[in-house]
């Protein structure tokens, strides 16, 4: 029998050195700054008499990760497992840790929880906000900037903000460079001021016209070519191209302007800033098609040092920053920039294990198992009730599961009669009803003393389980007899297979064996699905294992 326990070791805090983790608890990481890593060290203890080999996974393996995907724990031994937390933005994160063996007869699940933070002024107003509430917070941060007026803004742009050394000005669309110390010198060399959000849509009004977060230096050819065309991917019908930028048709056969790759992210963060700062969508210019393109460009062309420098210089002049440059991850936390819509909630739930196999016990004795309900969607779900049976009872708590959380339903099998039992446990949730099949066996001859001796003396294993066509039975005969005296002499060993009704199917071993490890195969005669009981007897000791045969 395998019994697995988790001890959670806090290695980076002043909390107690360890705590026992039950199925309803949460593994909580310390608040972790984005770009850093939070660590939790788990001690996994196998208190049973058989070794444990299992899979470890988290349902969000980008944010929460396990150092090992497969673990092996010897009987009555322990190992350490390291979990890591990698927050990418300042929100609360939840996921589920799963540890299970091949046939899911042993399963542990626990909720993982952690909070990311930026470590700057944005935490106070944007922490764990999404969609409309995040837009409102960001709009409040960018509102009421110092408007310089159009002439002064252009002077600062050409003379300081977009001077990247040696009085060199570069066209953001073509890469053409000129030497100019003033706006007049730049204009005399064919440079203009590009309004990323076309100024004709707002009638050249202030403060939009002079807002440095969306105006850039360009040469006249590129500026005139772009005109008021929307941004997008040019796929066909190219009519102009220079330096990587081009004008042509997108997949909708609409004329669009595509900037060169190194300016795509800048365009995206300028346009999305503009709709945050000026919320009435001048000229209905920003549509869903452009917004989706900007989301892609924001991820494709990440913020680099030149854009950060520009953000700093504009903040010195206008008194406000572009939060989408400081934290581009805000973009993905806003479902729609042009409407008040919030992201749709997804109801998605699963349970593990797919079937419950109780350990074999004696009549009037009991054994326990768990079903874990996992919330793998984005909406909350509710566990309402559980329907049990005459021989399987249990307990659960009416619980609300937030996205990423898990909860156990605790089951207990006990029968007053011998034999095999099967049925279904029904778990009723707001996401639907889960029908979880179970199988159990109550033996008339498995006494408490025999169970104690079995667990502490010798071993019986079967694999794979479930099996198809052939099951391998491995057993160990120790140099120890039931009376407590040690002996290396041969002893009588029997290995029998029973069906669920207790009827003997076959006798695989019935002979004297010396102490040691043995292996034998079992081939069921009928190619049907079902459950069998494997029984090992030696020197007054007895061990049993359930085996599930699949077609």
Task: Give 189-207 as a 3 state SS string.
Answer: CCEEEEECCCHHHHCCCCC
CA-based nearest residue to 499, from 548, 426, 536: 548
Instruction: Indicate if 169 and 89 belong to the same structural domain.
Output: no
Instruction: Indicate if 257 and 364 belong to the same structural domain.
Output: no
Instruction: Indicate if 366 and 475 belong to the same structural domain.
Output: no
CA-based nearest residue to 293, from 250, 246, 347, 325: 250
Instruction: Indicate if 218 and 152 belong to the same structural domain.
Output: yes
Say if 184 falls within a structural domain: yes
Largest CA distance in the chain: 106
Instruction: Indicate if 72 and 185 belong to the same structural domain.
Output: no
For β-strands 406-414 and 432-443, DSSP reports them as: unpaired
Give CA–CA dist 334/324, Å, rounded. Answer: 11
For residue 469, name the pLDDT band (cuts at 50, 70, 90): confident
Mean pLDDT over 455-477 rounds to 80
Structural domain for 29, as ranges: 1-118
Say if 326 falls within a structural domain: yes
Give CA–CA dist 148/81, Å, rounded. Answer: 57
Residue 229: exposed, middle, or buried by beta-carbon count in 10 A (0-12, 13-18, 19+)? middle
Say if 449 falls within a structural domain: no
Instruction: Indicate if 463 and 437 belong to the same structural domain.
Output: no
The answer to whether 156 and 148 are in contact (CB under 8 A) is yes
CA-based nearest residue to 534, from 482, 431, 465: 465
- Residue at which a domain ends, from 63, 94, 118: 118
Greatest mean pLDDT range, 11-15, 289-293, 388-392, 453-457: 289-293
Return the percentage of the chain with pLDDT > 70, whole number: 90
CATH of residue 521's domain is 2.60.40.1930
The answer to whether 474 and 519 are in contact (CB under 8 A) is yes
List strands edge to edge, sheet with 392-395. 349-352, 366-375, 406-414, 392-395
The answer to whether 551 and 106 are in contact (CB under 8 A) is no
CA-based nearest residue to 293, from 319, 246, 256: 256
CATH of residue 385's domain is 2.60.40.10
pTM to 2 decimals?
0.76
> What is the crossing angle of helices 261-277 and 288-300, to 10°?
130
Q: Which residues contact 407 (CB under 8 A, 6 or more apart)?
A: 23, 24, 372, 373, 383, 396, 397, 399, 401
Instruction: Reduce the DSSP state of residue 44 to 3 states and report it.
Output: strand
Residue 376 in tokens: 């793998």
> What is the crossing angle of helices 261-277 and 305-318, to 10°?
30
Instruction: Indicate if 155 and 278 belong to the same structural domain.
Output: yes
Structurally, the chain folds into a number of domains equal to 4
For residue 46, name the pLDDT band (cuts at 50, 70, 90): confident
Instruction: Indicate if 75 and 179 belong to the same structural domain.
Output: no
Question: In this predicted structure, which of 198-202, 342-346, 466-470 has the lowest mean pLDDT?
Answer: 466-470
CA-based nearest residue to 472, from 522, 544, 516: 522
Instruction: Indicate if 109 and 139 belong to the same structural domain.
Output: no
Instruction: Reduce the DSSP state of residue 153 to 3 states and report it.
Output: helix
For residue 37, name the pLDDT band (cuts at 50, 70, 90): very high
For residue 486, name the pLDDT band (cuts at 50, 70, 90): very low
Q: Output 64 or 459, whichever has higher pLDDT.
A: 64
- Residue at which a domain ends, from 298, 333, 368: 333
pLDDT digits (tens, 9 = 90+) for 109-142: 999 999 999 999 999 999 999 999 999 999 999 9
- Residue at which a domain ends, from 308, 333, 358: 333
Instruction: Indicate if 139 and 88 belong to the same structural domain.
Output: no
Phi, psi of 262 (to 5 degrees): -75, -5
Say if 452 falls within a structural domain: no
Say if 123 falls within a structural domain: no
Instruction: Indicate if 63 and 172 belong to the same structural domain.
Output: no
Distances, alpha carbon 137 to alpha carbons 91, 262, 298, 530, in Å:
14, 29, 20, 60
* Cβ count near 440 (within 10 Å): 27
Say if 504 falls within a structural domain: yes
- Residue 77: what pLDDT? 85
pLDDT digits (tens, 9 = 90+) for 203-243: 999 999 999 999 999 999 999 999 999 999 999 999 999 99
Say if 10 falls within a structural domain: yes
Instruction: Indicate if 397 and 319 belong to the same structural domain.
Output: no
Give CA–CA dist 432/381, Å, rounded. Answer: 10
Mean pLDDT over 318-336 rounds to 98
Say if 418 falls within a structural domain: yes
């Amino acid at each position: 029998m395998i019994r697995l326990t988790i001890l959670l070791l806090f290695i980076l805090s002043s909390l107690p050195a360890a705590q026992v983790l039950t199925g309803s608890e949460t593994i909580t990481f310390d608040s972790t700054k984005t770009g850093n890593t939070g660590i939790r060290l788990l001690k996994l203890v196998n208190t049973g008499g058989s070794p444990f080999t299992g899979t470890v996974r988290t349902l969000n393996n980008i944010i929460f990760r396990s150092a090992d995907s497969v673990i092996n724990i010897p009987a009555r031994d322990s190992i350490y497992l390291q979990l890591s937390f990698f927050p990418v933005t300042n929100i609360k994160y939840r996921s589920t840790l799963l540890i299970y063996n091949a046939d899911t007869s042993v399963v542990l699940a626990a909720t993982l929880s952690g909070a990311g933070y930026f470590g700057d002024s944005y935490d106070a107003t944007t922490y764990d906000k999404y969609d409309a509430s995040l837009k409102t917070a960001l709009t409040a941060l960018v509102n009421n900037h110092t408007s310089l007026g159009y002439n002064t803004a252009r002077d600062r742009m050409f003379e300081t903000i977009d001077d990247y050394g040696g009085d060199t000005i570069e066209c953001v669309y073509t890469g053409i460079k000129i030497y100019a110390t003033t706006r007049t010198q730049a204009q005399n060399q064919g440079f203009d001021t590009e309004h990323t959000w076309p100024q004709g849509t707002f009638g050249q009004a202030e403060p939009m016209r002079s807002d440095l977060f969306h105006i850039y230096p360009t040469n006249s050819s590129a500026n005139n070519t772009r005109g008021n065309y929307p941004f997008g991917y040019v796929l066909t019908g190219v009519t102009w191209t220079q330096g990587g930028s081009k004008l042509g048709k997108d997949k909708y056969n609409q004329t669009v302007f595509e900037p060169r790759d190194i300016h795509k992210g800048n365009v995206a963060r300028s346009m999305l800033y503009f709709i945050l700062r000026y919320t009435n969508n001048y000229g209905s210019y920003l549509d869903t098609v452009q917004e989706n393109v900007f989301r892609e460009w924001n991820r494709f062309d990440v913020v680099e040092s030149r854009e950060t420098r520009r953000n700093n210089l504009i903040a010195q002049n206008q008194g406000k920053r572009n939060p989408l440059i400081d934290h581009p991850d805000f973009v993905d936390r806003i479902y729609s920039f042009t409407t008040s819509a919030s992201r749709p909630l997804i109801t998605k739930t699963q349970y593990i294990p797919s079937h419950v196999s109780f350990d074999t016990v004696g009549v009037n004795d009991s054994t326990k198992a768990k079903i874990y309900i996992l919330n793998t969607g984005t909406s909350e779900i509710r566990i309402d009730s559980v329907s049990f049976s005459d021989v399987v009872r249990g307990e659960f708590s009416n619980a609300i599961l937030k996205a990423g959380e898990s909860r156990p339903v605790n089951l207990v099998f006990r029968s007053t009669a011998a034999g095999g039992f099967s049925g279904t446990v029904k778990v009723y949730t707001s996401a639907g009803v889960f029908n979880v099949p179970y199988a159990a066996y109550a033996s008339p001859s498995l006494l408490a003393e025999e169970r104690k001796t079995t667990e502490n003396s010798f071993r019986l294993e079967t694999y794979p389980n479930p099996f198809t066509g052939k099951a391998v039975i491995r057993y160990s005969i120790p140099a120890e007899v039931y009376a407590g005296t040690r002996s290396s002499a041969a002893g009588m060993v029997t290995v029998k297979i029973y069906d669920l009704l207790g009827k003997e199917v076959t006798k695989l071993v019935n002979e004297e064996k010396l102490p040691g490890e043995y292996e034998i195969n079992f081939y069921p005669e009928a190619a049907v699905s079902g459950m069998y009981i494997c029984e090992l007897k030696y020197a007054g000791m007895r061990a049993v294992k359930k085996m599930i045969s699949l077609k």
